[in-house]
Amino acid sequence: STINPEARGIAHRLDRGASGCLIVAKNDYAHANLVSEFFRRKAQKSYITLVPNVFGETSLKAGTIDHSVDKKPALSVYNVLKTCNGGLSALVEVNTETGRKHQVRSHLHSIGA
């Protein structure tokens, strides 16, 4: 993509220390559309994370975290997929309704995970 030569077609990235998929556009048209989708918050983002189990023994717990990030409103919805390591860890899916920097990490930390 020539829209932003420094980005080299990357339409969305992950935070340092995280693993997962990068979205890379093959051409300028795709790059412009992908960047627009993220900018307008039309893209749905889902994260799977392994955290200390603060959810209890039930692996079917779900909830909402409404906690500001950098003094801006932020909302995440989480679902505990399963507990691991003898109940010491939990595999959690987090869907962000807003798109704040470090939102997933900040929200999970706010509930002790």
Catalytic residues: 15
Give the pLDDT confidence of 62-72 residue by residue, as tens digits. Answer: 899 999 999 99
Q: Counting beta carbons within 10 angstroms of the beta carbon of residue 45, is it exposed (0 to 12), middle (13 to 18) or buried (19 or more)?
A: middle
Distances in Å between the Cα of 48 and the Cα atoms of 29, 76, 104 are 30, 13, 10
Give the pLDDT confidence of 79-108 residue by residue, as tens digits. Answer: 999 888 888 899 999 999 887 888 998 999
Spatial neighbors of 108 by CB under 8 A, at least 6 apart, are 49, 51, 65, 78, 92, 94
Which string of DSSP letters, residue by residue, matches 76-93?
EEEEEEEEEGGGTEEEEE
Contact yes or no for 98/75 (Cβ under 8 A): yes
Give the pLDDT confidence of 29-57 residue by residue, as tens digits. Answer: 988 888 888 888 888 888 899 999 887 76
Whether pTM > 0.85 for this model: the answer is no
